[in-house]
A = this chain, B = another copy of it.
Amino acid sequence: MSVNIYDTANQLEKEIRETEQFVKLQEAFTAVKKDEEASKIFEEFRSVQQVLQQKQMSGQEITEEEAQHAQEISGKIGQNETISGLLEAEKQVGQMIDDINQVVLKPVRELYQ
């Protein structure tokens, strides 16, 4: 990377840390970590999500049992405000990162249009 670009990327990184979205994500993450019940459900959710994603990517079928397990956890998450808060915060940060990528990748995108 040229020096300018490196400086600007670092500037962006600092500014991301200061956004309302990122600060809220940190808080939501800490809230889940502090809550034993929420932590347990969240870890279970991540683990099931990983299995399903890997199966989907490799074209393997998802068993009825796995689908039921996933639904069960989704239910638990919907009833747990601490985790719902984290997922919402993740969504907001994800949207911000997508917006940044839209801008940053514009030169390359335009070239191939």
- Could you list which residues of chain A lie within 8 angstroms of chain B, going by C-beta atoms? 1-2, 4-6, 8-13, 15-20, 22, 25-26, 29, 57-60, 93, 96-97, 99-101, 103-108, 111
- Known contacts A93-B108, A97-B105; decide if A5 and B15 are in contact (CB<8 Å): yes
A13: B residues at CB distance < 8 A? 103-104, 106-107
Distance in Å: Cβ of A27 to nearest Cβ of chain B: 11
Identical chains in the assembly: 2
Residue pair A104, B9 in contact (C-beta under 8 Å): yes
Listed A/B pairs (9) with beta-carbon separation below 8 Å: A2-B15, A8-B12, A8-B15, A12-B103, A16-B107, A17-B107, A25-B108, A29-B111, A93-B108
Q: A9 CA to B4 CA in the complex, in Å?
A: 13
